[in-house]
Amino acid sequence: MTPHNPDWSFPFEEPLHEVFPALHDAQSSWLSQIDSLEAPDRKTHELIRLVCTVILRNPAGIRRHAQLAREVGAEWDEVLGAIMLTTPAFGMGNAVEAMPHARDGFDAARPPEAD
């Protein structure tokens, strides 16, 4: 497998682009429209996406959305709180497994920009 292209957000993009460039372009356009939604606010948006990746048990997604949540102003207690909201329906195991991945992403984030 070739190294991840830093211009793309996800490792699957390079092989997808090589085989189906038009599909990749359309998917990227669609995702950018989701990212531009004004409501909920961007921090809430990333915390929701974090919760979804916890439920899916997707470590790369957990790291990514914890990182993005931090970059748009989430504090560590907000990330942990979002993860813990998954426990009533999906159990403690998902949350416990997610915490180190979330911490890695949170710690890798650039500090949020001051308003």
DSSP sequence for 20-38: -HHHHHHHHHHHHHHHT--
Determine the Cα–Cα distance for residues 46 and 66; give it in Å rounded to an integer.
7
* pLDDT, tens digit, 9 for 90 and up, residues 28-53: 888 788 778 788 999 999 999 999 99
**Residues constituting the chain:** 115
**Reported pTM:** 0.78
Which tokens belong to 108? 């890798």
* pLDDT, tens digit, 9 for 90 and up, residues 51-87: 999 999 999 999 999 999 999 999 999 999 999 999 9
The pLDDT assigned to 94 comes to 94
Question: Where along the chain do its domains lie?
Answer: 11-38, 41-115
> For the residues 3-7, what does the mean pLDDT come to?
59
Given a contact cutoff of 8 angstroms between Cβ atoms, the answer to whether 61 and 94 are in contact is: no
Determine the Cα–Cα distance for residues 54 and 20; give it in Å rounded to an integer.
29
Residue 9 has pLDDT above 80, yes or no: no
Given a contact cutoff of 8 angstroms between Cβ atoms, the answer to whether 62 and 30 are in contact is: no
Helix ranges (DSSP H) in 1-115 = 13-19, 21-35, 42-55, 59-71, 76-84, 87-90, 92-108
